């Protein structure tokens, strides 16, 4: 059984790229959501270190998802306690659920990293945004992992 709590919206920049972060090397890069979710893209490689990871969500995205989950769980627990309070009302056992817990603020994600440049990877005919230094020194295609030294 799974419960869908809500969605975490990851904003795109003016060119339609979303910010990702490699959990292995910590470098930021951007790809378009349609490329990230394409059927022919099985895995994503970090353009910087060339390694694959389970996910590339930034700390902001994960933090917002955890806040939404905690807020939802606190509401579920409080609602169950309120039901117990009503069940025992008027009996020889008293139970008080207490006040409803306050929610953690769920601030929308807002990215300011714009120091990334668009690069087109000829192998996959897709674009990504990476740091300019990796354009000069070489990078890995995020969609197939091929290393490119010069552009």
pLDDT, tens only, 8-51: 778 888 899 999 999 999 999 999 999 988 888 889 999 999 99
pLDDT tens for each residue of 135-144: 889 999 999 9
Scanning 29-103, the segments in alpha helix (DSSP H) are 33-36, 59-88
pLDDT tens for each residue of 102-128: 888 877 777 667 789 999 999 999 999
CA angle 110, 116, 122 (to 5 degrees): 125
pLDDT at 103: 87
pLDDT at 65: 85
For residues 77 and 92, give the distance between their C-alpha atoms in angstroms, rounded to a whole number: 24
pLDDT at 41: 86
pLDDT at 96: 81
75: Cβ contacts below 8 Å, ≥ 6 apart: 100, 101
Check whether 1 has a pLDDT greater than 60: no
Tell me whether residue 20 is exposed, middle or buried, using C-beta atoms within 10 angstroms of its C-beta: 0 to 12, 13 to 18, 19 or more. Answer: buried
- CA dist 44 to 21, 122, 138, 140, Å? 11, 16, 17, 10
For residues 114 and 77, give the distance between their C-alpha atoms in angstroms, rounded to a whole number: 42
Q: Which residues pair with 148 in a beta bridge?
A: 139
């Amino acid at each position: 059984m799974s419960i869908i709590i809500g969605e975490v919206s990851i904003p795109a920049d003016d060119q339609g790229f979303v910010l990702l972060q490699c959990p292995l090397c910590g470098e930021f890069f951007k790809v378009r959501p349609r490329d990230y979710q394409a059927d022919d893209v099985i895995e994503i490689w970090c353009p910087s270190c060339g390694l694959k990871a389970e996910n590339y969500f930034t700390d902001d995205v994960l933090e917002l998802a955890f806040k939404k989950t905690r807020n939802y769980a606190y509401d579920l627990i409080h609602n169950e306690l309120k039901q117990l309070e009503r069940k025992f009302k008027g009996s020889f056992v008293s139970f008080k659920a207490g006040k409803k817990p306050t929610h953690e603020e769920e601030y929308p994600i807002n990215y300011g990293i714009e120091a990334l440049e668009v690069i087109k990877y000829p192998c996959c005919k897709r674009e990504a945004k990476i740091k300019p230094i990796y354009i000069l020194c070489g990078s890995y295609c995020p969609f197939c992992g091929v290393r490119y030294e010069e552009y």
